[in-house]
Structure 1
Amino acid sequence: MIVLMKSAASVSAIVCLYVSCIFLHLLVLDVAQTQATTAPHEVAALNMIFEKWGISANQNQWNISGEPCSGAAVDESIALATNGYNPFIKCDCSFNEEHSLPHHQGFLQFLKLQESNRQEADGVIPDELWSLKFPYLPVWELNINRLSGQLPKELGMLSELEYLGLGGNNFSGPLPSELGNLTKLKTFIIGTNDFSGPLPSELGNLTNLNTLYIDSTGLSGEIPSSFANLKNLESLLAANIELTGRIPDFIGNWSNLHQLILMGNSFEGPIPSSFSSLINLTDLRIKVLRNNKISDSIPSNIGDYLSLRHLDLSFNNISGQIPSSLFNLDSLTYLFLGNNSLNGTLPNEKGTTLLYIDVSYNNLSGNLPSWIQEQNLQLNLVANNFNIESSNYISALPYGLNCLQRNFPCNRGSGIYSSFAINCAGSKITSHNIVYESDNERLGPATYYLTDTNRWGVSNVGYVEDDNLEYTINSASVVTNTQESTLFQTARTSASSLRYYGLGLQNGNYAVTLQFAELANFSAIRWKSLRIRVFDIYIQGNLVEKDFDITRVAGGVLRRAVQREYLAQVSKNYMEIHFFWAGKGTNPDPVHHIWGPSISAISATLGSKNNFG
């Protein structure tokens, strides 16, 4: 999965292919005044590459059949982001003495492929690329195309490379060890591909590297010990990749690190104590550690992380109390500590920047602090042991938190309901004599909701960097494989963890039906095969579906209804249905809504499963 973050790589929805330094043989009388021209054989080779990739350029932009050093390519008044240029190159065709070359040289610096109505390179990296012999190639970006095949070892010859972007393609096979020769490389992006095998230890030679994205690559194994040399790293994204073993202690020596994301791996805990040195972090996400001991706790010096803006340590079995200094960091805005074993109380004070807090599914207790009254605050306190009834500030929170504490205490005993049904993110609808209640409450990164009848509730946790994201998908398209298409016009989504609760239920066996359809607009995305929504489904705490992919189950067909039926036992008057994104599949950028869990409708009815066909 590719995550094109707003970081050191400055990779955005604009997709670019940089190539550089075509050696030019020029007929020149006055070096100071004559513009470079390109050797015909090199133009032919470049055109052949474009032909094999299925891309072309408007000759008004630059002369693709003759002289690339022409037109908009050398017009400094036309910026790279100018609309209507697709693809678009920029050339430096002035005299250059940097390498003491005997002739004029033109530098093909930049070729852009716009996301909107873009053309995409399709095929393998052709051998003609190496005939161009780019000896001074500084930046090469092939992100989000349709390139395939193995990476050629010849990449290692481009010794001047500082930026190599190969993310969002269909490359396969092992990473060539020759990549370790790119010792000037500063940015290396290979996320969302289909590689195999381990990370080459030779990548430890890339000591100038500051950005490394290896998410959703298909690679596996332990992080090589040679990576201890990567002390200039500022950003490491390693989500949805089968990295194993312990998280290396040497990461604590990467003192320049600003972003560290380790999710959807197979790492074993604990979080290394050396991480206490990473005080320059702005974004730290470590999620779902295996075999993590209950004694592991939040680093005691967390108050030294003065630049930290986003912290996610959820689902790691962390224990102990929450350090009060964590709630008073000057920059912290997003704090996710849910699904651990934390105890004690919430800190009495909170910084003004901290607006999204999830501490659900812990063992926290005590009275609620006064800061819960702050406006614009999202606070998820579900499944703890707080003194809700005695709190002076409970009116500041959404209704029903007392019913959503540990063991869900409301309407316990004989139970008052024998069923519940929800049209997720939609309006009330009746289908096949089942009344699906409305679920159109707006949820956010750390929210919960309970109906005024206390019949069912929902809890959502997780953040996407999109202020307008409402964690729903709406579609007017007809959904096939169902007689009730209107039931699938909406779906509730989540960036991490989405739980629905049936409350006040009579005890017994319930038939649970979950309805899905992939409503995301894949049709506008030529590289839609790379978009994979993968999540786990738990009912009553039991894993019933692992790595569930709606589109795969629907036979690769979008907007096709998929139904799953399960038997669940209710023994304490409540049911919990959990849709959980464990870091696998595709991350949000560049297209939101199509990565975390998604659910269209839920129904549960008392009786054995045999009663429901």
Structure 2
Amino acid sequence: MKKLLFFAISLILYSNSAFTQSAKLDTQEAKALKEIWGKLGLVGREEWDFEKDPCGDLGHWKFHLICDCSFESNTTCRITEIIITSQNVSTSLPRDFTKLQYLQLLDLSRNYLKGTIPSEWATMRLSTLSLMGNRLSGLFPTALTRMTTLLDLRIEGNRFSGPIPKEIANLKILEKLDLSSNDFTGQLPAALAKLTNLITLRIRDNKFTGKIPNFISQWTQIERLHMQGCSFEGPIPSSISALTQLKDLRISDLEGEASTFPPLGKMLQLSILVLRNCLIDGQIPDYFRFMINLNTIDLSFNNLTGEIPSSFSQLDSAECIYLTKNNLTGPMPGWVISSAKNVDVSYNHFTWDASGPKRCEQRTINVVESYSSSTDKQNDIHPCLRKDFPCTKSNALLIRSLHINCGGEEVNINNTIKYEADTKRQGASTYYNGGNWAFSSTGNFLDDRHSDTYILSDTSNLHYISTSDTELYTTARRAAISLTYYGLCLVNGNYTVRLHFAEIAFTQYNSFNSLGKRVFDVYVQGELKLEDFDIVKAAGGTGRVVIKSYTVNVKNNTLKIQLYWAGKGTTGIPFRGSYGPIISAISVDPDFGTPNYGKGSEVGLIGGILGGLCFASVIIVILWRRGYIMSKKQYTETGEMSHTTSFS
């Protein structure tokens, strides 16, 4: 029986091969393909002989070209799919694609294409079109609104601008729409409500305005909804409760009006939930116990109050839980401290009990600054757990300068300034103490097909950097959501803080890799210093250095530098999961001549001076009594003698 089955399968494969080898690509399509190849500048790049049939000799075809050879009794082939990705094609889009009448899938993502979409493309009967990661520009192309056969449209990571036209309602059967990382403006048009077959909608990183519309309730089939980094106004509408098929919901960085937690209780299929910085007040609902598929939950940077629901301890499938920077209170649950998951409950207001953590470094658990400064038994709490976060060393010797090579090995600049090594690689939910400094890292890189990378390294992209400084910029520390550096045990006073940046993940050259855009915010001592900071824009290119300097007053012996990703910038160049703030180095130098030691140090200094004076007085008395120090009479006589002798 097995031999017979094997023979049948072999016969089918042989028959298909025979049909493919005997069938030829339609003459007109072969001619059109050659014209397209020439206009895209691909002639000469490949060893493919245009005299050969691309549908009959796919083994030598380095790009994906798929044909349907069932035409005219299996003698004629038609091109149905073309995929040309990551080839840095830098031309305009050829009109000649319209000559391929049976083309259904066209993927030209991650190239360097310019211009806009030709109006002639409106006649194409594509089901899938991906132009992600190019330089295409202009208003939303009208040709796209006339491609009524489209099921999947992706124009993420381009330079399209203006409002979304109401004609988008023509795409009634559209299932996937990705408009992320463009410059679209205005409110979301009501016409989007007509797209009731949507399964995926990604509109993050644009310049949309207004509230998240109530008509989102019409997308009852949607499974993936991303609305990050667009400055939409809150609150999240209650109509979102109708989206019961959602598996991946990401909304972040809303403006305006606060609200209580949105009604998500019926979204039992959720795997990823991000409601970060969404102005959410009140307590966390208890319905999470029913979301058995949750893998990642991010409720950070809100104003959530009360205790962490006990239902969170039952999220067995959850690998990452981020409750960073809220106003959560009550005792910290025991499951948090003992968890093997990535759990970040830092920057909250828990009350201390005997079962609380005794230190901040807790494997994959981040609890830094997690306890209220007014909580009882402050002496039992490790200083780094307290909200006021004083110097973490008892009887510490205070320092007056600090230099960190973020993400790199120790570096000596001109043998005068030593930048300390910072090479710890964990970071999804991490607090690390390096001695006189520490860092807190929050977040994993969603959609990253590679392993999460929290340290970037590259030496090939650096330009215009003096030889003595280059080593500082070959590495950088990265975080997915938030990265905070602390300077610990600093003498109180004014300092010059320099933050060193260089973009080393993107290239300078004319390729799709140069189209990546990294945008984040920078806070120093809690004050916003840089909003929507783009290293490449500030430095004038990739691999170039930009240093931001600030005069900062240090109190309580602690300096705090925070970098925060607000959902803006590209996330798919050079590959999915490429985003988040980075920093190359930090230097902190005093602006004072005489240090301000702070209240505690002043007491010690005064005590030391008084003790020294007392000791000196005792020594003087002993020496005087033993005759080593002259009396007033002896001094007068000797002085007069000396005076006479000196003028004799």
**Residue aligning to 1:134:** 124
CA contact (8 A) 2:473 2:501 kept: yes
1:164 aligns with 2:153: yes
**Residue aligning to 2:245:** 256
Q: Which amino acid in the other structure matches residue 65 of structure 2?
A: I
- Within 5 Å, give how 1:450-465 maps onto structure 2: 450-451=433-434, 454-464=435-445, 465=448
**Distance in 1, Cα, partners of 2:64 & 2:236:** 42
3-state DSSP of counterpart to 2:384: helix
- Within 5 Å, give how 1:104-119 maps onto structure 2: 108-115=79-86
Q: Which has the higher contact order (CA 8 A, sep 6+)?
A: 1
Match 1:125 to one of 113, 117, 120: 117
**Residue aligning to 1:408:** 389
Match 1:436 to one of 419, 427, 432: 419
**Deviation at 1:502?**
1.3
Greater Cα radius of gyration, structure 1 or 2: 2
**Distance in 1, Cα, partners of 2:143 & 2:44:** 27
**Deviation at 1:59?**
9.0
**Residue aligning to 1:417:** 399
Deviates more, 1:594-603 or 1:327-336: 594-603
**Deviation at 1:330?**
2.4
**Deviation at 1:438?**
1.7
Deviations 1:52-77 (A, max 9, x none): 555569898696x9xxxx944467xx
Match 1:92 to one of 60, 64, 68: 68
CA contact (8 A) 1:264 1:584 kept: no
**Residue aligning to 1:549:** 534
Deviates more, 1:310-319 or 1:51-60: 51-60
**Distance in 1, Cα, partners of 2:45 & 2:502:** 40
**Residue aligning to 1:447:** 430
**Deviation at 1:446?**
0.5
**Distance in 2, Cα, partners of 1:412 & 1:153:** 68
**Distance in 2, Cα, partners of 1:423 & 1:299:** 42
Deviations 1:222-249 (A, max 9, x none): 3333332111100011222232242121
**Residue aligning to 1:282:** 271
Match 1:355 to one of 337, 341, 364: 341
Deviations 1:158-201 (A, max 9, x none): 22221122222232333232221111111112222232333221
1:531 aligns with 2:516: yes
Deviations 1:525-584 (A, max 9, x none): 7134531111111111111111111111112x2222211111111221111111111222
CA contact (8 A) 2:176 2:198 kept: yes
How high is the TM-score relative to the length of structure 2? 0.74
Tell me the matched-pair count: 544
**Residue aligning to 1:29:** none
Tell me: CA distance 1:44–1:352, structure 2 relative to 1, closer, same or farther (3 Å): farther
**Distance in 2, Cα, partners of 1:226 & 1:414:** 59
CA contact (8 A) 1:179 1:203 kept: yes
Q: Which amino acid in the other structure matches residue 508 of structure 1?
A: G
**Residue aligning to 1:595:** 579
1:313 aligns with 2:299: yes
Tell me: CA distance 1:113–1:178, structure 2 relative to 1, closer, same or farther (3 Å): same
**Distance in 1, Cα, partners of 2:186 & 2:302:** 27
**Residue aligning to 1:223:** 212
1:510 aligns with 2:510: no
How high is the TM-score relative to the length of structure 1? 0.78
- Within 5 Å, give how 1:158-197 maps onto structure 2: 158-197=147-186
CA contact (8 A) 2:306 2:329 kept: yes
CA contact (8 A) 1:298 1:318 kept: yes
Tell me: CA distance 1:376–1:544, structure 2 relative to 1, closer, same or farther (3 Å): closer
**Residue aligning to 1:16:** none
Deviations 1:501-541 (A, max 9, x none): 11122211112111111222424771345311111111111
Where does structure 2 lack aligned partners over 5 or more consecutive residues?
Answer: 1-21, 90-110, 596-648
**Distance in 2, Cα, partners of 1:39 & 1:140:** 25
Tell me: CA distance 1:74–1:574, structure 2 relative to 1, closer, same or farther (3 Å): same
CA contact (8 A) 1:62 1:73 kept: no
Tell me: CA distance 1:455–1:59, structure 2 relative to 1, closer, same or farther (3 Å): closer
**Distance in 2, Cα, partners of 1:568 & 1:376:** 31
Tell me: CA distance 1:153–1:39, structure 2 relative to 1, closer, same or farther (3 Å): farther
**Distance in 1, Cα, partners of 2:274 & 2:255:** 15
3-state DSSP of counterpart to 1:522: coil
Deviations 1:475-509 (A, max 9, x none): 23455244422222221111111111111222111
**Distance in 2, Cα, partners of 1:529 & 1:264:** 26
Root-mean-square deviation (Å):
3.8
Q: Which amino acid in the other structure matches residue 212 of structure 2?
A: I
**Residue aligning to 2:132:** 143
**Deviation at 1:372?**
11
**Deviation at 1:310?**
0.4
**Distance in 1, Cα, partners of 2:546 & 2:46:** 48
Tell me: CA distance 1:216–1:122, structure 2 relative to 1, closer, same or farther (3 Å): same
CA contact (8 A) 2:177 2:202 kept: yes
3-state DSSP of counterpart to 2:312: helix
3-state DSSP of counterpart to 2:485: strand
**Distance in 1, Cα, partners of 2:38 & 2:187:** 33
**Distance in 2, Cα, partners of 1:96 & 1:458:** 68
Where does structure 1 lack aligned partners over 5 or more consecutive residues?
Answer: 1-33, 98-102, 395-399
**Distance in 1, Cα, partners of 2:144 & 2:224:** 23
**Distance in 2, Cα, partners of 1:74 & 1:199:** 47
CA contact (8 A) 2:224 2:247 kept: yes
1:335 aligns with 2:321: yes
